[in-house]
A and B are shown apart, each in its own frame.
Chain A
């Protein structure tokens, strides 16, 4: 994940700036829940590394975002306030522009596997395997009414 970030990052400095501004607007930090924003350096590095194979799609989404910012506010996207940035992203996502969907997906993937975020949700920061999880058996006596009703399949 984050440690896989390589120096051959295909994103230009401009693209990285727009991308950081976007992901920070999508998921901002929260003092209440003690969680970082998606533009936190560790999470952002993970997002950049994960987005690398999708560079063309992501770059075209970033271009769309910049042009929406220029058209509506005549301002570079990173210079807009967080609420405006979030609303531009939201509008583009609703218009089902594929690149924005990809970016939202990558952001969620990287954000919700960060140790700090997982802990804030009460999860142990680990992979599911090998320890697995416990779930309760539940109350099998709930089947009683189903048994009492009897056969429902059709004889042929």
Chain B
């Protein structure tokens, strides 16, 4: 039975095995329990998304996705991610370069602060921008005098998205670049490479899988963020609705099939993210073993 953790010579001595091994009750029971747990909380809900989306047929599904408000929500979701992900990517590289390649005081405090957005409730992540840019906020009155809208407009959505996806790339790159040490970069510098050349030709190729890993997770969260974006969006259909907010509106209007059709796009994105993540992880493992 391949299912059992291979017995060592020692156990074989301690407990001589009979010719016919008994049915492996314990492994089967444990695997069964784990699968039941995952089914209840993961598989069944995931299947339900696609089932509900196609309940009224493929034609209805198609129409729900191509409807103008859905399109504008898809567009805004892509725009927010297209701004937030590159900004956090540049930040992640800069932070990892400073933290991994140099020694300075309060480094662990800095790492903790970078992780901070993960421990803040999404609702609060939206709220803090309302407190600054909202009408009653610090710069709100000045903004409204100059006719600049941030809250209940696209810039607010982008800002909230940047906040919630802030740590993703940095927290992937920092441990990876710390583990790789500084010798290769120092060799490049001694041989006359400029800082940018060292970064581009030495450091980044070394961490490319970790970088990709951080970027896809960052992107998944950017496209899927709900709570923070919900606070700053104002839910203006066709203008400030992202795809997750559009799903919520349709759902609250009892347009369940349409809501699940849009939700299935996001679920599909999540599955692609997991597939890329799985491939990247096995690549990383292979390179690590070399």
| A and B physically associate | no
Task: Give me the interface of A with B, judged by CB distance under 8 Å.
Answer: none
Task: Give me the interface of B with A, judged by CB distance under 8 Å.
Answer: none
